[in-house]
Structure 1
Amino acid sequence: MTKKNVLFLCTGNSCRSQMAEGWARHFHSDTIEAYSAGIEAHGMNPNAMQVMKEAGVDISGQSSKLASTLADVPLDLVITVCGHADENCPAFLTKAKLVHIGFDDPPKLAKEASSEEAALDCYRRVRDEIRDFVEGKLPDLMAGV
């Protein structure tokens, strides 16, 4: 069976798309070649790395990159995980099936947090929502690709 190439696209490729790539590698490495990229590259978010590690998934080996670096990858599915990426998806990515599954922005949520632990809880909530999507619903999306 040939693996399907799946790209998780976000604005800065620092948090949500990185988590999604990590979960896809964790749950579906036998059927999916997972990638993440951004409209911009903001670097890896240390809080995202921390909460993923807490859940048993190490994303520290991943890197923040621009979508244009994947122009030669024959993508089967592009999943935008934020509204900005959905609205500004690079044209070359539209050759693949496009799906938008929006998740809250943990850094934005964490700005209102009263403590470091409360801030990390924002990341944990979004991490778990992404995990539930990737583990449970992504296989159904893949069936149509």
Structure 2
Amino acid sequence: MLRTETINTEHFFKSALENLKINENRQKLLKSIALFIAKQMQQNKKVNLNYICTHNSRRSQIAQVWSNYAANYFKFSEVKSFSGGTEVTALYRNTVKTLQEVGFTFQIVEFSHQNPVYAINYKNGINPIIGFSKLYDDDHNKKPFIAITTCDSADEKCPFIPEAIERFHLPFNDPKTFDNTLYQSEKYLETNKQIAGEIHFIFKTINSII
């Protein structure tokens, strides 16, 4: 069923965590990511998170947006979030749509038929999030960074990443499977919610440590 209403971003972020269902191994993984980030912060280091997926079009983009949102929500000014891929495609239109449904606004700042650059904003946001498909080592992505891969192919085929001070594999199901089906909007929103919930879990855990 097509959803047309816009959901409050903060409410979605909170409910995503409240309704999050993860197994013990997944929880350990999320906590290990949080612990590493917290240790970097405790050493007064700036933290750059780079979410990496093959095409940098869906899951890694959603993770970048929620990670930026979470850093602002918890007032972690030293944490910056980016995304990249092993190939350049585009920030896919269904990715844009599912984020718009939960209150993010998109403005094209550099037009391109193949790969437009967006300024992504949200209520109480300080600076816009810049969204476009790029390689993980693009100049836009600050270095050094913590690499967080979000899809299976990225884990299996990801090249050596010398800029990464640490690497975690946090896979999510690809909503691309449901493109052009009746379940498209629903499945993208499910992925959106899982990523929001797990990012919230990570940042809330960091907040409890530092």
Q: TM-score range by the shorter chain?
A: 0.7 to 0.9
Query: What corresponds to 1:69 in structure 2?
Result: 138
**Compared CA separation, residues 28 and 124, structure 1 to 2 (3 A):** same
Cα-Cα RMSD: 2.6
Query: What corresponds to 2:197 in structure 1?
Result: 132
Determine the C-alpha separation between the residues in 2 that align with 1:25 and 1:105: 21
Determine the C-alpha separation between the residues in 2 that align with 1:73 and 1:120: 32
Query: What corresponds to 1:85 in structure 2?
Result: 154
- 1:44 is paired with a residue whose SS is coil
Q: Percent identity?
A: 24
Q: Whose helix fraction is larger, Structure 1's or Structure 2's?
A: 1
Q: Structure 1: where are the runs of 5+ without partners?
A: none
Which segments of structure 1 move beyond 3 Å, counting only runs of 4 or more? Answer: 70-73, 138-144
- Mapping for residues 1-145 of structure 1, pairs under 5 Å: 2-29=45-72, 30-58=77-105, 60-61=118-119, 62-70=131-139, 73-93=142-162, 95-110=164-179, 113=181, 115=182, 118-138=183-203, 140=205
**Compared CA separation, residues 130 and 72, structure 1 to 2 (3 A):** closer
Aligned residues: 140
Mapped contact 1:6–1:75 kept (Cα < 8 A): no
**What do the CA deviations read for 1:25-70 (whole angstroms, capped 9, x no partner)?**
1111424210100011111111111111111234642110012315
Mapped contact 2:70–2:203 kept (Cα < 8 A): no
> Which one is further off, 41-50 or 83-92?
83-92
TM-score by length of 1: 0.83
Alpha-carbon shift at residue 88 of structure 1 (Å): 2.0
TM-score by length of 2: 0.59
> Which one is further off, 79-88 or 92-101?
92-101
Residue type of the partner of 2:136?
Answer: A
Structure ranking higher on relative contact order (CA contacts 8 Å, 6+ apart): 2
Mapped contact 1:78–1:93 kept (Cα < 8 A): no
Q: Structure 2: where are the runs of 5+ without partners?
A: 1-43, 107-117, 120-130
